[in-house]
Amino acid sequence: MTTNLTKQGLPRPKDDMWRSYIEEWDRSLRASNRPHTTRYNYQLAVTQLSDFLGGPELPDFLTRMDMPADDDSDAAQDPTDVSRKHVEWYIAWMIDTRSASTALNKYKGVQQFFNYLVEGEEMDRHPMDKLSQPDTPAKLIPVLSDDEIVSLLETCRGKTYSDRRDTAIIRLFLDTGARLSEIAGLQVDNLDLKRDGILVHGKGDRQRFVPFGERAGQAMSRYLRVRSRHPAADLPDLFLAERGRKAFKPNGIKIMLRRRGNAAGVSHMHAHRLRHTLSHVWQREQGNESDLMAIMGWRSPEMLRRYGASAAAERAENTHRTLNLGNRI
């Protein structure tokens, strides 16, 4: 399924009526100061729902799953005609073709869209009323071992522009636990080498200052020297693409981390693993939880539990081995 994008990179459905409603909804999201990433994810979910209802995937899926396909509604052309069964079909299709966790994200995005239509009295009843969100299996996000981190940094050993830039990026992720969008969005003015930290613009445009250690500071200084000779050194963006006059975008960082990970023998390398690793080590070492929330830009204690699951599992394993209860008899 291909997705149409606006000039701002936001998804839009093929159907004109659906597009009209989504563009109206986007104005509301902008007025609520929702970040671009949130708007993108929400609107991608609704766009995919629209295109699914009006595309060949729906009848093929219903036939394959032996589900009744009777539908005399105009849901494919008008979102206000969507009923519970349409959303159920879409979520079931997402689980079947993607994953339960992806389906949960789509559920939340679609739910927000219909909340807007119901609150605006475009719909009399919410089509997802009493529709439970899909269950997702609890999975521990794999953290990076010290050896894996060393191997990852070894792939950046060198004096080229990309080596110095990539080392600085990886060390910033490790030291600050910042999100991918936050690192990619850094500007030169957000870096403070006197205080050894970065001013991060997080979700909802909330700002926080996050310190980093001496090795990250050293990596940043070395990067700035090669950056000063870059043809686009006058741009405000801190991290620049290797070629051309453009910033190093989130997708470029994703590709870089995956490539460096493959070279280091670290599979499925992505920015979130670096963020999760910082949280894991912090909680394993019994660091203050309120301080961790401030560093990571969390507002809900639920994130502590979610990110702390791997550290809790490691502590439990170590305690189990220490107590050695099975050998008491």
Residue 125 lies in a domain: no
For all residues of the chain together, what is the average pLDDT?
Answer: 91
Question: Last residue of a domain, which of 119, 134, 159?
Answer: 119
Contact 141, 273 (CB under 8 A): yes
C-alpha–C-alpha distance, residues 245 and 287, integer Å:
42
Q: What is the pLDDT of residues 223-259, one digit of tens each?
A: 999 999 999 999 999 999 999 999 999 999 999 999 9
Q: What is the pLDDT of residues 62-83, one digit of tens each?
A: 999 888 878 888 999 999 999 9
The DSSP secondary-structure symbol of 71 reads -
Q: Does 307 share its domain with 219?
A: yes
- Give the pLDDT confidence score for residue 3 in this predicted structure: 72
Residue 51 lies in a domain: yes
The DSSP secondary-structure symbol of 133 reads P
Mean pLDDT on 158-170? 97
Q: Does 256 share its domain with 196?
A: yes
Question: Last residue of a domain, which of 103, 119, 135?
Answer: 119
Residue 135 lies in a domain: no
Q: Does 99 share its domain with 185?
A: no
CATH number, residue 310:
1.10.443.10
Nearest to 126 by CA among 82, 70, 159, 158: 82
The band of 315, judged by pLDDT with boundaries at 50, 70 and 90, is low
Domain total of the chain = 2
Q: Does 157 share its domain with 231?
A: yes
For the four alpha carbons of 135, 137, 138 and 143, in that order, the dihedral sign comes to negative
Outline where DSSP puts E strands in 43-196: 191-192
Residues 6+ apart with CB under 8 A from 86: 49, 53, 71, 73, 75, 127
Q: What is the pLDDT of residues 255-307, one digit of tens each?
A: 999 999 999 999 999 999 999 999 888 888 888 989 888 888 888 888 777 77
Where is average pLDDT lowest: 144-148, 219-223, 321-325? 321-325
Q: Does 166 share its domain with 271?
A: yes
C-alpha–C-alpha distance, residues 261 and 274, integer Å:
12
Question: Last residue of a domain, which of 119, 154, 181?
Answer: 119
Identity of the amino acid at 48: Q
Range of the domain at 102: 4-119
Residue 178 lies in a domain: yes
Q: Does 115 share its domain with 151?
A: no
Q: Does 160 share its domain with 256?
A: yes
Q: Does 110 share its domain with 155?
A: no
Mean pLDDT on 40-69? 93
* Percent of residues, the chain, with pLDDT higher than 90: 71
Residue 259 lies in a domain: yes
Q: Does 64 share its domain with 165?
A: no
Tokens 């990433």 identify what position?
37
Question: Is pLDDT of 1 > 70?
Answer: no
Q: Does 14 share its domain with 72?
A: yes
The band of 138, judged by pLDDT with boundaries at 50, 70 and 90, is low
Residue 81 lies in a domain: yes
Residue 153 lies in a domain: yes
Residue 95 lies in a domain: yes
Contact 145, 152 (CB under 8 A): no
Q: Does 295 share its domain with 197?
A: yes
Q: Does 100 share its domain with 152?
A: no
Contact 277, 174 (CB under 8 A): yes
Q: Which residues face 210 on adjacent strands?
A: 198
For the four alpha carbons of 292, 154, 169 and 39, in that order, the dihedral sign comes to negative
